Structure 1
Amino acid sequence: MAKVTLQQLRKVYPNGYVGVADASFEIDDGELLVLVGPSGCGKSTLLRMVAGLESISSGELRIGDRVVNDMPPKDRDIAMVFQSYALYPHMTVAENLGFGLKLRGASKAEIAERVKAAAATLELESLLDRKPAALSGGQRQRVALGRALVRKPQVFLLDEPLSNLDAKLRMTMRVEIARLHRQLETTMIYVTHDQVEAMTLGHRIVVMKDGKIQQIDTPMALYNRPVNLFVATFLGSPKMNTLWGQVVERENALYLRIADGVELRLRPEGELLEKVRAYLGRELMIGLRPEDMHPAEAGPDTLPAKVEVVEPVGNEAFLNLGCGGCDLVVRLPPFHLPKVGDTVHLAYSAERMHFFDRESELRL
């Protein structure tokens, strides 16, 4: 196990495109850190730089107390699990698990011992004589994990390992990986574009966009205190609702004027109150999570919205609504739902509002 340290790590391609821009953070010994972001954000490039599969343009990368910038992958003491299982089809599960050790000159006894231990950890004992064609997708992914596990590396690198699985298997394998990490207490770096995977697996999450790190924090800190609009809307399903309009004051109360006759009461406190007052006569953006709004009796502190789509999904339902040119989603219990075309009045948790500058999209 080892700490991984990135200092101003940068990747610039020959055509001048910046794949990763000055990434700096530490991954603690035994931590499971998730890199998350949309396709093309640089998360896999960053992981491949740690693995040694992508050259580093500038900056410093340390694994433990070693600078590994120019060290070949085989000497970095890491193991990588890819999106593709990359199993050898002509080999049995046992042979696939032990092949990497065989290449490194391990003895037959050591290979057998490590393969047996990995198979027990991942519940593969009954499958050791099978070939990949006779395995399900989840079983193949466990073999790919086991192949990395037998190496006993200092750092595990996982590049979207669950992307090829269906929804049910992804959930099962998420639990498997979390359980495996608790058992091994090994440093893991996990790349995904799936924010649910990121939120449920990561001790901390690195959110990336366009090669740049947007925010690094624990899952719930990112959810409750996003540093900008991108982080706010990327994490959470359904995503955060955003409403924008002009800040106005009436009878010592602040409102967001979304459209003619449609206003949202603002109740900022402390330092935030003065920051919002500075936007009087200017545009401001407000964020509210779907669970922080609910239908209520019409009143001065409610927001009128028209129901456009009702989505019952079993244990809950989602209302898709239109309000003054803004699209909203509200999460509700699946009982006594309004109908499409109805106008509902939404109450909202003022203390759960998020305030963003309309131009910079930074949190106030």
Structure 2
Amino acid sequence: MAAVQLERVRKVYPDGFVAVEEASFEVADGELLVLVGPSGCGKSTLLRMIAGLEAVSAGTLRIGERVVNDMAPKDRDIAMVFQSYALYPHMTVAENLAFGLKLRGHDRATVAARVDDAARLLELEALLQRRPAALSGGQRQRVALGRALVRQPQVFLLDEPLSNLDAKLRMSMRVEIARLHRRLGATMVYVTHDQIEAMTLGQRIVVLDRGRIQQIDAPMALYERPANLFVATFLGSPAMNVLRGTLVREDGPALRLDEGARLPLPAGDVPEARFGTRVDLGIRPEHLLRGGDGEADATEGHVEVFAPAVDVVEPVGNEVFVNMTLGTHALVARLPPGELPEPGTALPLRAARGRLHFFDPESGRRLDG
């Protein structure tokens, strides 16, 4: 296996459109790194540049010790798994797995051994004589993974490999890919627009927006300390609540919303330097707590309750999503199951201590201190 290093890599198309702007990061040897962002953010373009399917306009791209900017894809020692399975319909599973190895001139014994190893690892032994038409979506995706696996490349590149699967199958395939990575210790770069895939699979995540890297970190570090408003609202489902207003002292710290509504905040959570300034305040849905919970009278002092109006209640089994309005702002709370509030009523809530995020309303960057 090998590390992958990008130094100020750019991609500019002939019409002047900048798809990737000075991307710099390193994928460590044996790491599973995820590129995530909305459609058009540049994540697939980055992956295709690593693969050699897109030319690098500027910057340096290394795989291992080699600069590969001008190297042909076949010489980069990478294997790619695409969103479409791209299996040969007239070939059996065994023939699909073996085809690339035969093209590269491997002897029959090597081909048979690698196919058997991949089939055993991906639980395809019973399917080797079937053709793709006789396989389920998950089985086809395992064959596509196996075809990459038999190559024994330095780097695996996976471009939204689970997008064509249904929700249940995506979950099971995420687990299979995580197990596969753990067993192989392989270097993998995984592209997805699905933030749940990114959070559950990635050892580190690169968050992209409009061709620029917004933040690189471990999944929970991104979730708990987003660098800017884009990262904060992109990661998390339901998304982080964001309210714009002025931080004030009115019977305790509060956010005075632009239309006059008031959101009380936990004492000590608002940096002194921020009082009197306008901010975007972020609160995750799970950090809006029912007003009567015991933490309200903890030793740090009383946390004042506010009561937004309930619009829609969504019970999903182990939790309840409550959609509300405070002034003109929409709020979502993630609450444990129990007695459900009625639409049209006011629901007493409070903000959890130590869980507030402050952002600059102009630049969107995180504010600290």
Q: So what's the TM-score if we normalise by structure 2?
A: 0.94
User: What is the number of residues matched between the two proteins?
Assistant: 358
Consecutive unaligned residues in structure 2, runs of 5 or more: 297-301
Q: Which residue of 1 aligns with 2:16?
A: 16
Distance 1:49 1:268, change over 3 A: farther
Aligned: 1:326 with 2:329 = yes
Q: State the match for 2:299 in structure 1.
A: none
Q: Which runs of 5+ in 1 are unaligned?
A: none
Partners of 1:267 and 1:351 within 8 A in 2: no
Is residue 49–residue 55 contact of structure 2 (8 Å, CA) maintained in 1?
yes
Equivalent position SS for 1:350: coil
CA distance in 1, matches of 2:283, 2:127: 49
Q: How far has the Cα of 1:268 moved from its partner?
A: 4.5
User: Hey, what's the Cα distance between the residues in 1 that align with 2:360 and 2:216?
Assistant: 21
Deviations 1:217-265 (A, max 9, x none): 00000000000000001001111111111222346x4321024352332
Alignment of 1:258-273 (within 5 A): 258=257, 259-265=259-265, 267-268=267-268, 273=271
Specify the code of the residue in structure 1 equivalent to 2:289: H
Q: Residues 161-180 of structure 1: matches in 2 within 5 Å?
A: 161-180=161-180
Deviation string 1:153-197 (CA, Å, 9 cap, x unpaired) is 000000000000000000000000000000000100000000000
Amino acid at match of 2:271: L
Residue 54 of structure 2: aligned partner:
54
Contact 2:266–2:351 at 8 Å: present in 1 too? no
Equivalent residue for 2:279, pick from 284, 291, 303:
284
Q: Is the 8 A contact 1:88 1:96 kept in 2?
A: yes
Task: Note if contact 2:311-2:324 (Cα within 8 Å) is conserved in structure 1.
Answer: yes
- Could you say which residue in structure 1 is the equivalent of 2:361? 358
Asked whether the equivalents of residues 285 and 333 of structure 2 are also in contact (C-alpha less than 8 Å), the reply is yes
For 1:163 and 1:320, the matched residues in 2 are separated by 28
Distance 1:300 1:153, change over 3 A: closer
After superposing the two structures, state which structure 1 stretch, 295-304 or 118-127, moved more: 295-304
2:235 is matched with which residue? 235
- Residue identity in the other structure for 1:257: R
Contact 2:266 2:352 in 1 (8 A): no
- The CA deviation string for residues 278-322 of structure 1, in whole angstroms up to 9 with x for no partner, is xx1x42111111110122149971222011000011111100011
Give 3-state SS (helix, strand or coil) of 2:7's partner: strand
Counterparts in 2 of 1:261 and 1:137: CA distance versus 1, 3 Å: closer
1:40 aligns with 40
CA contact (8 A) 1:9 1:61 kept: yes
Aligned to 2:108: 108
Write out per-residue CA displacement over residues 32-68 of structure 1, whole angstroms, 9 at most, x where no aligned residue.
Answer: 0000000000000000000000000000000000000
| Equivalence for 2:72 | 72
Asked whether the equivalents of residues 47 and 159 of structure 1 are also in contact (C-alpha less than 8 Å), the reply is yes
Residues 62 and 337 from structure 1, CA distance in 2 versus in 1: closer, same or farther, beyond 3 angstroms? same
Residues 266, 303 of structure 2: 8 Å contact kept: no
Paired residues for 1:191-210 under 5 Å: 191-210=191-210
Equivalent residues of 1:256, 1:266 under 8 A apart: no
**Structure 1 runs of 4+ off > 6 angstroms?**
none
- Superposition CA RMSD, Å: 1.4
**TM-score (norm: length of structure 1):** 0.96
Distance 1:130 1:334, change over 3 A: same
2:219 corresponding residue in structure 1: 219
Aligned to 1:257: 256
The answer to whether residue 154 in structure 2 is matched with residue 154 in structure 1 is: yes
2-side partners of 1:294 and 1:349: how far apart?
A: 7
Do the aligned partners of 2:159 and 2:190 also contact (CA within 8 Å) in 1? Answer: yes
2:314 is aligned with 1:311: yes
- More divergent stretch after superposition (170-179 vs 339-348): 339-348
Secondary structure in structure 1 of the residue aligned to 2:111: helix
Secondary structure of 2:221's match?
helix
Deviations 1:308-355 (A, max 9, x none): 000011111100011111111111112101111111111111310000
Q: Secondary structure at the match of 2:8?
A: strand
User: Once the two structures are aligned, what percentage of the paired residues are identical?
Assistant: 65
